[in-house]
Chain A
Amino acid sequence: MKHNVIVINQLITVNNLLFSTHLLTLFLLNMNLHKLSSRLCPTVTQKFRHLHIQSSGQQLEAVAVETASAEPNPLSVFRTSEQDPAYHSERQSGQYYTFPPAHIQKLFPHGLPPRFQLQIKTFNEGCVMVRPPALELISYLKRADYSKPPLRYVLYGDTGTGKTLSLCHALHYCYTQGWLIVHIPDAHLWVKNCKELLPSSSRPSRFDQPIQASQWLKNFKITNEHFLSKIKTTQRYVWTKRESTEMGQPLGELVDQGVNRMKSSSDVVGAVLRELRLQAGGITEGEGAFKLAVAVDGVNALWGKTSLKKEDRTLCEPEELTLIHNLRKMMKNNWSGGAILTALSQTGSLFTPQSAYLPNELLGEEGFDHMEPFVPVSVSNYDEKEFESCYLYYLDRNWLQHPHSRSEEGKKELIFLSNKNPSILERLCAFL
């Protein structure tokens, strides 16, 4: 069966006579699909694998499913063929677009929320809905003046409304535009559950987190490979008596230093951030002009409390952690040539009430003062159209197996039970 399908696709690509192959493929695909539809999930995902091949192949498949009629392609109601975030506009609002798999591996080695990663694995594609907050953010990014200090954007909203994924969408846009990405997937992970807390080698009052720092440096390396050789250090960094990085070395070396030598990895992170800050949008080197996108999720962790304890069993302040300290410096807008995209998060935060979701509640006074002025972007639950498209997407992926969920009644139940909250809907559909 798979063999048949491959043969057909070869026919399409080679012949390029859509009409004649239409009928052929219609006939053959229909046959195959009947067999397929009576089997379980594994083969269903197989069926959708060949959706990825080409847009024309996609359309053929869709037409075959719908028993050739002149109706508009139902897939286009919730899917858009526009894969480039730069061209997303209100027309595609509510529709799903796919992350190219190569991009996912490079851009988001650690960036996507774990549940979404599971979803990518299950559905074999990473689809994200185009929603107004993300569109707003991208439009700001398009129109901003990059010779001035960076604008700070804060995505805020209720739990589970889609702040992290909107951030990822905007980051994808930045990546396709060739920016340098500094992505901290969840700042909360740096203020809690740290197994090793070393006193800092450079400064006595600070604490290092070697594991987290080296992990982050590895991921940073994967995301920004091509930049690492172009950017050069502007200062000499001394790590230990024997190790140091000279001025003018490519950034890649600095990063390697941090990855290999765990002890000084937190300081390396600080150095990397400093270098990027100094050189972002710099007109000094012609070939090294780049725009810097700093994306931090769970930014309220930087000014909240930690759950880490020092050796004398007193609570650590976030200020005393090297990584946090350096990040905070990054958040200030005393550099130019980039943008700071942040999202608040109550889910991972420590010692905040569950009902808090506004910036001043989650950031606290200190954080608010530090981040001010910023551009707030609010993210809310799905509205009717978006819910509809999410529902259709799950149906299309055969994720909703229960027969009742395909009816109108079932849809109303889903609306009621989830109140159109994206994450709750996703969890609900997970066992249907």
Chain B
Amino acid sequence: MAASSCRGVRSILWKYGSCGKNLCVSRSKTIPQLPVRQICVSSSLWKKNLAAAGPQKFTQEFIDKQVEEFEVGKRHLANMMGEDPETFTQEDIDRSIAYLFPSGLFEKRARPVMKHPEEIFPKQTAIQWDAVGRPFHFLFYTGKQSYYSLLHDVYEKILAIERHQDKMRSKGLFTSDTKQIVLTGSRWLLKEEMEEYLVENVSDQDFMRFVQLMEKLLSMPYCSLEEEFILKFRKQLEVQSSKHEIPALQYDPQGVAFSVAEGRRKTAKATITLRDSGSGNFTINGRNYLHYFPLLQDREQLMFPLHFVGMLSRFDLEGSVEGSGHSAQAGALRLAISRALLSFVSEGEVEKMRQAGLLTADPRIKERKKPGQEGARKKFTWKKR
């Protein structure tokens, strides 16, 4: 979460080229003063070569100062809003900033934001060499020291496991069916996430090499010894179906169960009330659905969710829809029906419906017309001369 927001903020504030992020700033003051010779230089040398400077670099003192200012500012903000400075969380900060600086900008990332400097300023590596100029890390001259050191670590672990295996074999306790690491429901880190973790650029081939090495580690029988290390590089996938909120099942005075749900498609908004009464009546905007949708295609769209769960003649449907055209209205109604059905249906069915695409809102909207073109894609007649 922090990584993604950091990434987001970072992209707005500074553009990064693909050059290295290595720092080389602030020469120490103990360098002996060499005799300076006046050299005649042209004015072109005085102009700042912006491209060669590379991405802007921040010193550690600068970042510490920012953190201090942030903490102080947080307390000020809490006082301003009349809340307790001790228990002022980031959500409260966001809320207060949105209240004090209301912005009509559509792009959320362009709005005023107040976050911890660690999230705003990109992570940078500290100085990699000592006062003499000698690098700390033994792999510094590879150019990608964190990546190669990681690879070294992984190989170290592989060797350790092999030694463990040999030990077990010599004792005669070698078994293939040991505790396996549970990998379902998680995925490997993406290349971008890898780059963030290592704070240096990783190429595609490097990343693939890393994943191959991890797979090799996993293929060994005693890999559960390094479970913690491996899980550091796996990300849990969220269970998609748990994200859908199921509308509550209500009961009307006669004891008939009903549920209400909404759906949208391309400017068409629909609301549906599903009643569990056992007849197949269907009213839309007060009219019979046969009159409202004379086209078979629209009625098939409406039939799809009910037919999928096999409850065609069980429900009484009452719907209202407005906006857009007949196809969009049918799509909006279909989404509303699927959502309303969630409360009548079991968990497994919900997952099946999600996989069938019944619960996904169709994000397609009318594409904007561009200037200099006839429409969104159509160009004016091309004249050769």
A interface, CB within 8 angstroms of B? 158, 354-355, 409, 412-413, 415-419, 421, 424, 428
Contacts and interface: CB of A to CB of B under 8 A. Distances in A.
Interface of B: 280, 282, 287-291, 296, 299-300, 303, 306-307, 310, 312-313
Contact of B288 (A409, A413, A417, A419): A419
A421 B312 contact: no
Contact of A417 (B287, B291, B303, B313): B303
B333 to A, nearest CB: 14
Contact of B280 (A158, A354, A415, A424): A415
Contact of B313 (A416, A421, A424): A416
A416 B290 contact: no
19 contacts: A354-B291, A355-B287, A355-B291, A412-B312, A412-B313, A413-B303, A413-B312, A415-B280, A415-B313, A416-B303, A416-B313, A417-B299, A417-B300, A417-B303, A418-B290, A419-B289, A419-B290, A424-B290, A428-B296
Nearest to B303: A416
A35 B30 CA distance: 107
A413 B290 contact: no
B306 A416 contact: yes
A241 to B, nearest CB: 55
A38 B288 CA distance: 42
Contacts of A355: 287, 291
Contact of B290 (A409, A412, A421): A421
Nearest to B291: A355
A428 B299 CA distance: 12
Contact of A416 (B288, B310, B312): B312
Top 4 nearest A-B pairs by Cβ distance? Answer: A412-B312, A419-B290, A416-B303, A417-B299
Given A416-B307, A417-B303, 10 more contacts: A354-B291, A412-B312, A413-B307, A413-B312, A415-B313, A416-B280, A416-B299, A416-B313, A419-B288, A419-B289
B128 to A, nearest CB: 70
Summarize A's interface: helix, strand, loop or mixed. Answer: helix
A35 to B, nearest CB: 36
A419 B306 CA distance: 15
A57 B331 CA distance: 53
Summarize B's interface: helix, strand, loop or mixed. Answer: helix
B351 to A, nearest CB: 22
A236 to B, nearest CB: 54
Contacts of B290: 418-419, 421, 424
Nearest to B294: A354
Contacts of B306: 416
Nearest to A381: B290
Nearest to A417: B299
A417 B302 CA distance: 9
Contacts of A158: 291
Nearest to A419: B290
A424 B294 CA distance: 9
B141 to A, nearest CB: 70
A125 to B, nearest CB: 28
Contacts of B282: 419
A90 B232 CA distance: 79
A105 to B, nearest CB: 34
A355 B312 CA distance: 26
Contacts of A421: 290
A372 to B, nearest CB: 28
A409 B310 CA distance: 8
A418 B299 CA distance: 9
Residue of A355, A413, A418, A419 contacting most chain B CB atoms (<10 Å): A419
Nearest to A354: B291
Nearest to A357: B291
A415 B296 CA distance: 13
Nearest to A355: B291
B380 to A, nearest CB: 40
Residue of A409, A415, A417, A424 contacting most chain B CB atoms (<10 Å): A417
A355 B288 CA distance: 10
Nearest to B311: A412
Contacts of B287: 355
A211 B180 CA distance: 90
Contacts of B289: 419
A207 B306 CA distance: 56
A424 B299 CA distance: 12
B292 to A, nearest CB: 10
Nearest to B292: A355
Residue of A158, A413, A416, A424 contacting most chain B CB atoms (<10 Å): A416
A417 B310 CA distance: 15
Nearest to B310: A409
Contacts of B300: 417
Nearest to B307: A413
Contacts of A419: 282, 288-290
A428 B290 CA distance: 13
A415 B313 CA distance: 9
A409 B308 CA distance: 11
B280 A417 contact: no
Contacts of B312: 412-413, 415-416
Nearest to B302: A416
Contacts of A354: 291
B311 to A, nearest CB: 10
A416 B337 CA distance: 15
B316 to A, nearest CB: 13
A430 to B, nearest CB: 11
Contacts of B307: 409, 412-413, 416
Nearest to A424: B290
Nearest to B290: A419
Nearest to A412: B312
A413 B313 CA distance: 9
Contacts of A417: 296, 299-300, 303
Contacts of A424: 290
B314 to A, nearest CB: 10
Residue of B287, B288, B310 contacting most chain A CB atoms (<10 Å): B288
B278 to A, nearest CB: 13
A158 B312 CA distance: 24
